[in-house]
Structure 1
């Protein structure tokens, strides 16, 4: 199978007391993870930049950085840390929850989401904005009409906000099958991110490597090595 670039999957970066879903990385740990990349001559970039470099044959020292859901800490914690290293990233936004919170995680800690002004701000700072659907459903459970709405309405709404084409999508919960891959392609996305390797792996189901608060230098090294052994890149 064609080699896949290393893409790291984050959600939230903030101080926390309780994180039952394991989606939060502390700011200190995140800073250390970025330093780990930089010391190895690796540069974290958005998916847009990574895939363009891959097509040009210049992606060898690049690592994709992605942040799901669009939490406000992307503005306050993530972007400043990235800019210190001259890194960029892609944030996948749930378009129908702008300025709201992670309602899909009912019963778990509430996390605020970016609003339209926040999205415009991070886009001006060089970050890529991608779609993470309208309301964060499991796409595999939807009807065809509902699926198309989640893909197309979110794309249109985000494009209007940032004033640029939205070319990337991220499947909520990583739930994706052949129907969803075809729908993402048909909706006009150049690429889509999944989580796991599967029979659908390709430009519209790119696997990613989960990164959490436990990932120090040794675990990062192991995850990078595992990726290189699996994909040869």
Structure 2
């Protein structure tokens, strides 16, 4: 008997099946971690060891835009996404040289409302300088994808309507003007996300957005990522890599 299109195991004609969530690593600062209460910093040596682990396994770190484009072409085998949140100034001095040495690339999510400022939102400190406009342009010139982390690192789930629009729409426009390039990606500050925030990011014109663990909102505008820290040696990385797909359900909008 022929399978019916109404059978639950048969996908409806023209309706693409949800695809597996890509593996994406979430970094923040790369440098001195003598005071690191939020565990957001890895040393350059540790980053180098982690990227070397990827390369030994036949994997290469790329920007989120490159990863999603490769998936759409069916050519994403061996690629993982690398992201760096907040736009710390140490990205240029410590992260970028390691990325280049390991033939990797990344997406850098920055805050155009805090150019040349610091991470004042981290109450416990320490204060870490953020990239200036020239620093962001330098990263872009090196081929790093620039994405928005909002204007000033505000929790979008608690923002009023005017703030929500500024953090999404205005930050995208400011970065496009600063870099001269289209800004496709957004990253939710603190990783917090709700339906209202997702809708605002989508309406602002972003192609994709990154969170941390946005279930049940996972999709192109709420992509989950895996936090990578100083303690993630080869064994922990392997566990995180293997567990990622076991813990994440396929989502709509991904191939």
With normalisation by structure 2, the TM-score equals 0.89
Contact 1:2 1:231 in 2 (8 A): no
1:34-70 residue CA offsets vs partner (Å, 9 max, x unmatched) = 1000111100000110010011111121000000000
Residue aligning to 1:24: 41
Residue aligning to 2:210: 193
Residue aligning to 1:112: 129
Contact 1:46 1:66 in 2 (8 A): yes
User: Which of 10, 18, 23 is the aligned partner of 1:6?
Assistant: 23
- In structure 1, list runs of 5 or more residues that go unmatched: none
Q: Which has the larger radius of gyration?
A: 2
User: Which of 171, 175, 178 is the aligned partner of 1:158?
Assistant: 175
1:232 deviates by: 8.0
C-alpha distance in 2 between matches for 1:32 and 1:55: 30
Contact 2:185 2:206 in 1 (8 A): yes
Residue aligning to 2:242: 225
1:196 deviates by: 0.5
C-alpha distance in 2 between matches for 1:102 and 1:231: 31
Residue aligning to 1:91: 108
User: Which of 127, 146, 169 is the aligned partner of 2:163?
Assistant: 146
Contact 1:104 1:136 in 2 (8 A): yes
- In structure 2, list runs of 5 or more residues that go unmatched: 1-17, 251-255
1:229 deviates by: 2.1
Contact 2:198 2:221 in 1 (8 A): yes
Aligned-partner SS, 2:218: coil
Aligned-partner SS, 1:69: coil
1:16 deviates by: 2.1
Contact 2:24 2:226 in 1 (8 A): yes
1:148-177 residue CA offsets vs partner (Å, 9 max, x unmatched) = 111011111111111100000000001111
With normalisation by structure 1, the TM-score equals 0.97
1:107 deviates by: 3.2
Number of residues of Structure 1 aligned to a counterpart in Structure 2: 233
C-alpha distance in 1 between matches for 2:32 and 2:127: 13
1:111-158 residue CA offsets vs partner (Å, 9 max, x unmatched) = 000001111111111100000001101111111221011101111111
C-alpha distance in 1 between matches for 2:118 and 2:203: 29
C-alpha distance in 2 between matches for 1:3 and 1:99: 38
Contact 1:170 1:192 in 2 (8 A): yes
Contact 2:63 2:83 in 1 (8 A): yes
Runs of 4+ in structure 1 deviating by more than 6 angstroms, as ranges, are none
Root-mean-square deviation (Å) = 1.2
1:197 deviates by: 3.9
1:231 deviates by: 4.2
Aligned-partner SS, 2:85: strand
